[in-house]
């Protein structure tokens, strides 16, 4: 880089309005990857001080209180007025409770430490209370760790996605996430890999239905998935994950959150494979986690597009993720029942799959036979 002349560095008039084609999305400003409890506490204290925040309210999941929460609250409580609330489940009722406590305690920031449900309660509670939100995820089981979307159960047990705020600050305790059960990491990897399908489908929706598309968000979501998919030949279902695997996963999930914040929706990371997962949820089928369900959906959805997406299925097999409905306790017949309502679970989201369900249901059922039953056969051959 050449050195600038004094004239070049002098202030210039900058128009206050952004030119056409330029936007200013809301993006988080602090991202810390920490490798010990003390490092998380130090980074948190420093960020609170820098932002002039003095009265944090910690929302803690039951398990995370023992994993990391207790030491955080003790360290933080030595310097600041801290309040804590143990949350249980991702429900609108819990969000109301959090908001009530935040008001009573005069909190000026909400800090969620826990799994996805604890983060979703904090994320939406902070958005409603107009407070900044910090996240300390203790699991990497899905890409909600820094997304601006909260999935919550409401009245009548209905589950909905709510627009919330991405965390202003994200502290990732890599040492805690690495110790979580393998199943949580496999779930996160399956959720991350699905970005390739979601982006491909987003392009289709843009081309065929004129849906708004965001090049940068798409590139970020794809790159995030490729961090992991590029390592697929290194995995084996019996082999424990290496530290680099966990880091690739966490980096990918964080970038996915950023892609969603850029796009202003979950679209870069959620396509037809997510609609299948939502349909399993709506019918209360099986025992799979979100990421496992998305993986099963990906095996079918990947067949709707080009051969490159076979990489997603290769990754799922290499890490030992479930690839058939049966592997997560869902019969083939029930899975087909779920497929038939994919166009209803999020009617505003138009995917190639949900469009095919209404236009040519037989094609979709054939697809289910070819992907999920074939997958069953190849899984049993591999044993
Ligand atoms: Zn997901």
- Measured in Å, residue 5 CA sits from the centre of ligand 1 at 50
Q: Which of 130, 146, 177 is the last residue of a domain?
A: 177
User: How does strand 133-137 pair with strand 169-173?
Assistant: parallel
Compute, in angstroms, the gap from residue 269 CA to the centroid of ligand 1. 7
The CATH number covering residue 190 comes to 1.20.1090.10
| Same domain flag for 200 and 232 | yes
Q: How far is CA 279 from the centre of its chain?
A: 18
Q: How far is CA 337 from CA 277, 325, 330, 368, in A?
A: 12, 12, 11, 11
Tally of domains in the chain:
2
| Mean pLDDT for the stretch of residues 321-327 | 97
pLDDT number for residue 12? 57
Give the end of a domain, one of 177, 212, 246.
Answer: 177
How many angstroms does the Cα of residue 188 sit away from the middle of ligand 1?
8
Q: Is the pLDDT score of 307 beyond 50? A: yes
Q: Which residues pair with 60 in a beta bridge?
A: 86, 113
pLDDT score of 6: 41
Please give the distance, rounded to the nearest whole angstrom, from the Cα atom of residue 292 to the centre of ligand 1.
10
Contact call for residues 272 and 197 (beta carbons, < 8 A) = yes
In eight-state DSSP terms, residue 5 is P
Tens-digit pLDDT profile for residues 37-57: 999 999 999 999 999 999 999
Average pLDDT, the chain: 89
The whole-angstrom separation of Cα 223 and Cα 225 is 5
Same domain (yes/no): 282, 304: yes
pLDDT value at residue 143: 86
Q: What is the pTM of this model?
A: 0.87
The token duo for 369 is 């036979």
The 10s digit of each residue's pLDDT in 195-231 is 999 999 999 999 999 999 999 999 999 999 999 999 9
Average pLDDT over residues 112-137: 94
Same-domain check for residues 259 and 345: yes
Lowest-pLDDT range, 13-27, 257-271, 328-342? 13-27
Full domain range(s) for residue 348: 182-378
Contact call for residues 134 and 168 (beta carbons, < 8 A): yes
Q: Residue 112 above 90 pLDDT?
A: yes
Using the mean position of ligand 1's atoms as its centre, give its distance from the Cα of residue 96 in Å: 25
Q: Residue 113 domain-assigned?
A: yes
pLDDT > 50? residue 381: no
- pLDDT digits over 238-288, tens only? 889 998 999 999 999 999 999 998 998 899 999 999 999 999 999 999 999
- Cα(256) to ligand 1 centroid in Å equals 10
Q: Rounded to 5, what percent of the chain is helix, strand, coil?
A: 60, 10, 30
């Amino acid at each position: 880089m050449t050195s600038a002349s004094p004239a070049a560095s002098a202030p210039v008039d900058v128009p206050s309005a952004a030119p056409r084609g330029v936007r200013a999305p809301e993006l988080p400003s602090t991202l810390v990857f920490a490798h010990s409890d003390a490092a998380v506490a130090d980074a948190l204290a420093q960020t609170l001080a820098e932002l002039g925040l003095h009265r944090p309210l910690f929302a803690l999941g039951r398990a995370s209180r023992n994993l990391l929460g207790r030491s955080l609250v003790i360290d933080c409580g030595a310097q600041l007025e801290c309040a804590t609330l143990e949350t249980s489940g991702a429900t609108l009722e819990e969000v109301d409770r959090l908001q009530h406590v935040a008001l009573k305690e005069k909190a000026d920031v909400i800090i969620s430490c826990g799994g996805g449900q604890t983060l979703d309660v904090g994320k939406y509670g902070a958005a409603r209370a107009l407070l900044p939100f910090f996240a300390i995820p203790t699991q990497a089981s899905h890409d909600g760790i820094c997304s601006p979307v909260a999935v919550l159960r409401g009245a009548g047990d209905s589950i909905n996605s709510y627009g919330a705020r991405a965390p202003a600050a994200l502290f990732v305790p890599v040492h805690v996430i690495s110790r979580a059960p393998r199943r949580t990491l496999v779930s996160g990897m399956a959720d991350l890999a699905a970005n390739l399908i979601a982006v491909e489908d987003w392009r289709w929706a843009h081309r065929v239905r004129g849906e708004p598309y965001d090049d940068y968000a798409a590139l970020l979501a794809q790159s995030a998935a490729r961090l992991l998919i590029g390592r697929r030949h290194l995995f084996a279902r019996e082999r424990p994950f290496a530290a680099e695997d966990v880091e690739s996963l966490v980096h990918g999930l964080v970038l996915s959150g950023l892609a969603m914040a850029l796009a202003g929706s979950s679209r870069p990371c959620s396509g037809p494979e997510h609609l299948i997962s939502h349909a399993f949820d709506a019918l209360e089928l099986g025992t799979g986690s979100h990421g496992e369900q998305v993986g099963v959906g990906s095996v079918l959805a990947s067949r709707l597009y080009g051969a490159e997406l076979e990489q997603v299925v290769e990754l799922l097999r290499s890490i030992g993720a479930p690839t058939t409905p049966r592997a997560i306790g869902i019969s083939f017949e029930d899975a087909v029942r779920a497929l038939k309502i994919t166009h209803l679970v999020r009617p505003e989201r138009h995917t190639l799959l949900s469009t095919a369900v209404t236009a040519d249901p037989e094609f979709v059922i054939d697809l289910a036979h070819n992907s999920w039953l074939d997958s069953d056969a190849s899984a049993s051959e591999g044993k």
